[in-house]
Amino acid sequence: MTAPTGAVFGTIGALAAFPLRLAAREVERRHGQLRRGITRRTTHVVFGRTLLARAGLVKNGDAGIERSVAAERAAGRTLISENGFLRLLGLMKTPEASSLSRQSLIDQSRLSGSDLDFLSLFDAFEHDTEPYSFRDLILARKYAGLIAGGATWAAIARSVHRSGPVASLTAKSLNVGSQHGRADAIYLEGGQSELDGQLLFDLGTAGPQGDDTLEELFAEAEAAEEQGDHDGAAALYQRCLAIDPSDAIAAFNRANCLRAGGHAVDAAHDYINAIKLDPAFVEAWFNLAGLMSEQGREASARRHLQNAITLDKTYADPVFNLARLEFDAGNLPEARRLWVRYLELDADSKWARVAAKGVQFVDLQLARTAG
């Protein structure tokens, strides 16, 4: 499998084993794009393993990973592990040929399909997807035993990468840490080095160490934004832009934070900056239109919404907002046309019900006028 031409890769979590800038260079050489974060144009989502370390520091952090995985899968994007991504680019050696299907691995190991998928996504096996190897089957059986003993997929995934090559675990005995008074660890018994008789694979009580890298700053900014610290997040995104002024997503995210913090002028500047860096950044056009509309600048809002619709004809939100603007301006036939188009894109949401009522209202008004 090779990286498809035109693919747009987005990352959730920094890569643990390879600099993102070098991966981005290789993706571009293959006529694709690699960006931090996810946009509507993202076709492939890479889950970096540093995401696990950060989630381990936050209450319900693992549940957040599970929600992200479910959301990206529901959006129809291809999910790729860190190792799978590097193999896709030819930056990491592919394991030897294998023949076990996903279902065969589930049947023979009694590992649930969900746990298998999460462990694969965070490279707890020799292969990141089917076909799996016999060594993967041995690991799956060990992991199933750990989960039966009270471990979670995330606890296992965080632990196994502290041992060197994952395949080396096939010859070792694994135990849930709760058997040793540690609910947050997996133990190896009979290891080369010992700690009270066991070799401990600690799940980690601290995040990734190292310099104040761009990936670390971006992750900190995302966390601050998620927690509602808009000013703090904006400052962190600004530091990201100081390191990499070409990062359209950092500019876009900073604009969102500034807008949420009530700094409309600066937010508009950063939306425009994101668009200059990536003219096809449809979400930036849409959000800039929303900001213009909030300021009563309907003509600018209309232009930006039309740009968003031109760039992405399946994006329903700008169609709805443009219909509202046309309705408010008294252009009822155009409002109706746009609401009908919106219903073609979204027939089930609460906004679809609003659009349907809008169509009915316009039809009634036009009928009255004709009468």
Phi, psi of 206 (to 5 degrees): -140, 155
How many CB atoms lie under 10 A from the CB of residue 197?
10
Maximum distance among all Cα pairs of the chain, rounded to whole angstroms: 92
Handedness of CA 360, 365, 369, 371 (dihedral sign): positive
For the chain, residues classed under CATH 3.40.50.10190 are 8-88
Residue % of the chain over a pLDDT of 90: 67
The CATH class given to the 8-88 domain equals alpha beta
For the chain, residues classed under CATH 1.25.40.10 are 212-299
Q: Concatenate the DSSP letters of all residues of 334-346 into one string.
A: HHHHHHHHHHHH-
pLDDT, tens digit, 9 for 90 and up, residues 212-224: 478 889 988 998 9
Q: Of residues 50 and 44, which shows the higher confidence score? A: 44
> How many Å separate Cα 231 from the centre of its chain?
23
Three-class SS of residue 216? Answer: helix
pLDDT at 79 over 90: yes
Distances (CA, A) of 52 to 63, 101, 237: 11, 26, 22
Note the helical H segments in the chain.
20-29, 50-55, 61-74, 82-88, 102-109, 113-121, 134-148, 153-160, 214-226, 230-243, 248-260, 264-277, 282-294, 298-311, 316-328, 332-345, 350-370
What CATH code would you report for 212-299?
Answer: 1.25.40.10
Q: Are strands 44-47 and 78-81 parallel, antiparallel or unpaired?
A: parallel
- The phi-psi region of residue 34 (left if phi > 0; otherwise alpha if psi is between -120 and 50; otherwise beta) is beta
pLDDT at 256 over 80: yes
Q: Are strands 185-189 and 173-176 parallel, antiparallel or unpaired?
A: antiparallel
pLDDT at 137 over 70: yes
- The phi-psi region of residue 90 (left if phi > 0; otherwise alpha if psi is between -120 and 50; otherwise beta) is left
Angle CA(143)–CA(105)–CA(186) in degrees, nearest 5?
10
For 93-101, the CB contacts below 8 A with 24+ separation are 95/126, 95/127, 95/133, 95/167, 96/133, 98/126, 98/127, 98/131, 98/132, 98/133, 98/134, 98/136, 99/131, 100/130, 100/131, 100/132, 100/133, 100/134, 100/136, 100/137, 101/130, 101/131, 101/132
Label residue 164 exposed, middle or buried (CB < 10 Å: 0-12, 13-18, 19+). exposed
Q: Are 292 and 300 a contacting pair, CB within 8 Å?
A: yes
pLDDT at 178 over 60: no
Tokens of 8: 């747009």
Q: What is the Cα–Cα distance from 18 to 9, expressed in whole angstroms?
A: 15
Distances (CA, A) of 59 to 221, 241, 333: 18, 29, 51
- The reported pLDDT for the residue numbered 215 is 84
Tokens of 356: 């349907």
Name the least confident of 14-28, 50-64, 299-313, 317-331: 50-64
Contacts of 170 (CB under 8 A, 6+ apart): 135, 138, 139, 142
For range 121-138, the mean pLDDT = 94
Q: Cα torsion for 187, 193, 198, 204, to the nearest 10°? A: -40
Three-class SS of residue 246? Answer: coil
pLDDT, tens digit, 9 for 90 and up, residues 4-39: 788 999 999 889 888 888 899 999 999 999 999 999
- The reported pLDDT for the residue numbered 2 is 66
pTM: 0.83
